Amino acid sequence: MPFNTALTRQLGIKIPVVQGGMQWVGYAELASAVSNAGGLGILTALTQPTPEDLRKEIRKCRTMTKPPFAVNLTLLPALVPPDYHAYARVVIDEGIHIVETAGNSPGPVIKQLKAAKCTILHKCTTIRHAQSAINLGVDFLSIDGFECAGHVGESDITNFILLSRARQSLSVPFIASGGFADGQGLAAALSLGAEGINMGTRFMCTIEAPIHQKVKEAIIYAQETDTELVLRRWKNTSRLFANKVAKEAVKVERESTSGKFEDVAPYVSGKRGREVFINGDVDYGVWTAGQVIGLIHDIPSCKELVERIEMEAEETIKKAGSLIVGGGSSADPPPGEVGEK
Ligand SMILES: Cc1cc2nc3c(=O)[nH]c(=O)nc-3n(C[C@H](O)[C@H](O)[C@H](O)COP(=O)(O)O)c2cc1C
C-alpha cells in the first residue's frame, strides 16, 4: 500500500525511501531502478567529469524511468573546486525539480536552485546546520546520523538523539539518513517524526548498483564494527569501509608527527577508491560504507528491496498499533487498580 507522508506528497513518489547521492555509484542505472521501484533515485553530479556529462546522464536516466528522480550536488572543500553553478545550471535546464544538496557553504547554489523553483533536500549532520539550511529556504532536511557512510561531521550524534532533536526543533519536514536498511528502520524513523528515510550503503548492495560484485560481497560479509573513521584530525571525518588501506590511514593519521594532511593523502586517494568499484579489489583504495553493513545480507534488485521495505514497514506499524489494547481512554485505570470500586 503506498505511503502518504510529506515526502511522498511533495515529491510525487510512492514509497518514502530516497537513494542518497553516492560518488562513483550514483549513475543512471541505479537512480532509474530506485525511481522505477517507487522511491527517489538520485544521480550524483560530481560523478560526471563535466556539467555536459551530467546533462547526458540526466537524459539517459530519463530514457530509463518515468517517475521523478533527483540530482545530488555535494560541495566539498577543494584546491580547485568544480564549477558548482554550471552543474546547477544543467540541472535546471534539464528540468530536474528535485535536488539533494550536501556539504559546505551551500548558500549560493541553493539560492540558484530555489530561484528555479527546485525542491531542495539538504543533508546535514547537526541541528545547527539544519537551522542554517532552513534560513536558506530548503524544503526538506536529510538528517544524517553518526552511523552514516561518508562525511559524519564532528559531533558524533547518532540518530536516536538527532532525529528527536530534529522533531523537537525544526520548522521544515525532515527525513532520516544513516543506518537504514529495512522496513523496521523506516517504521522507526516515521515514529521519531521523519517523513521517510535516505539510504546509501544498502543501495550499493543491489543488483543495479554499477559497482563490482566483489564490493557487494564484502558488504554482505562485513559486520557493523567494520568501518573506520578517518581525517578526524583535519575536521573532515569520513566513515570508510575498514579495509587494509583505511586501517593504515588511521595509523598514519594517529602517528604523524608533522600533522600534515600530505602524510595521509596517498592513502585516502579518491582515484584509488573509484578503482575498487571497477576492479573489485576491495583493498586497492579507500571506499565509503556505513555501520549499516552489519544489517545487509543479500543483493536484491531495487524493486525487491523497496517492496520488502514497504511490506516490513507496514507490518511493523500494524504490529505496533496492536500493542494498544481496549477501547477505553488511557485515563481509565485498569481493573483491580486504584479507582476500582
Ligand atoms: C559509496 C558512497 C558514496 C557517497 N558519496 C556521497 C556524495 O558524493 N555526496 C553525498 O552527499 N553523500 C554521499 N554519500 C552518503 C549517502 O548519500 C548517504 O547520506 C549515506 O550513505 C547514508 O548512510 P547509510 O550508508 O548508512 O545509508 C555516499 C555514501 C556512500 C556509501
Q: Give the three-state DSSP class for 143.
A: strand
Is 110 within 8 Å of 120 (Cβ atoms)? yes
Round to whole Å and give the CA distance between 178 and 19: 11
pLDDT single digits (tens) 230-275? 999 999 999 999 999 999 999 999 999 999 999 999 999 899 999 9
* Residue ID of nearest Cα to ligand 1 atom 3: 22
Q: Tell the CATH topology of 7-211+297-310.
A: TIM Barrel (3.20.20)
Burial of 322 (0-12, 13-18, 19+ CB in 10 A): exposed
* Residue ID of nearest Cα to ligand 1 atom 7: 22
pTM for this one? 0.95
Is 162 within 8 Å of 189 (Cβ atoms)? no
240 closest CA partner among 176, 181, 290? 290
Of the pLDDT bands very low, low, confident and very high (cuts 50, 70, 90), residue 2 is confident
pLDDT single digits (tens) 5-50? 999 999 999 999 999 999 999 999 999 999 999 999 999 999 999 9
- Answer yes or no: is the C-beta of 305 below 6 A from any ligand 1 atom: no
Lookup: cell for 97: 525539480
Angle of helix 28-36 relative to helix 51-64, nearest 10 degrees, comes to: 40
pLDDT single digits (tens) 47-106? 999 999 999 999 999 999 999 999 999 998 788 899 999 999 999 999 999 999 999 999
335 CA → ligand 1 middle, Å: 52
The DSSP letter of residue 12 is: T
DSSP for 221-289?
H--TT-EEEE-GGGT--EEEE--HHHHHHHHHHHH-SS--HHHHGGGG-HHHHHHHHHH--TTSS--B-
Query: In this predicted structure, what is the pLDDT of residue 79?
Result: 80
Sorted by where each begins, the domain ranges of the chain are 7-211+297-310, 214-279
CA distances to 20, 182, 188, 193, 194 from 177, in Å: 8, 12, 12, 13, 10
Round to whole Å and give the CA distance between 283 and 286: 7
Instruction: Say yes or no to pLDDT of 329 above 70.
Output: no
Counting from 1 in the atom list of ligand 1, the atom nearest the Cα of 102 is 11
- Answer yes or no: is the C-beta of 48 below 6 A from any ligand 1 atom: no
The DSSP letter of residue 301 is: -
Lookup: cell for 299: 543483493
Sequence-distant (≥ 6) Cβ neighbours of residue 155 within 8 angstroms? 125, 126, 146
Round to whole Å and give the CA distance between 246 and 285: 8
- Answer yes or no: is the C-beta of 145 below 6 A from any ligand 1 atom: no
Of the pLDDT bands very low, low, confident and very high (cuts 50, 70, 90), residue 285 is very high
Mean pLDDT over each residue of the chain, to the nearest integer: 95
Query: In this predicted structure, what is the pLDDT of residue 341?
Result: 44
Number of neighbouring beta carbons within 10 Å of residue 82: 18
Query: In this predicted structure, what is the pLDDT of residue 333?
Result: 57
157 CA → ligand 1 middle, Å: 17
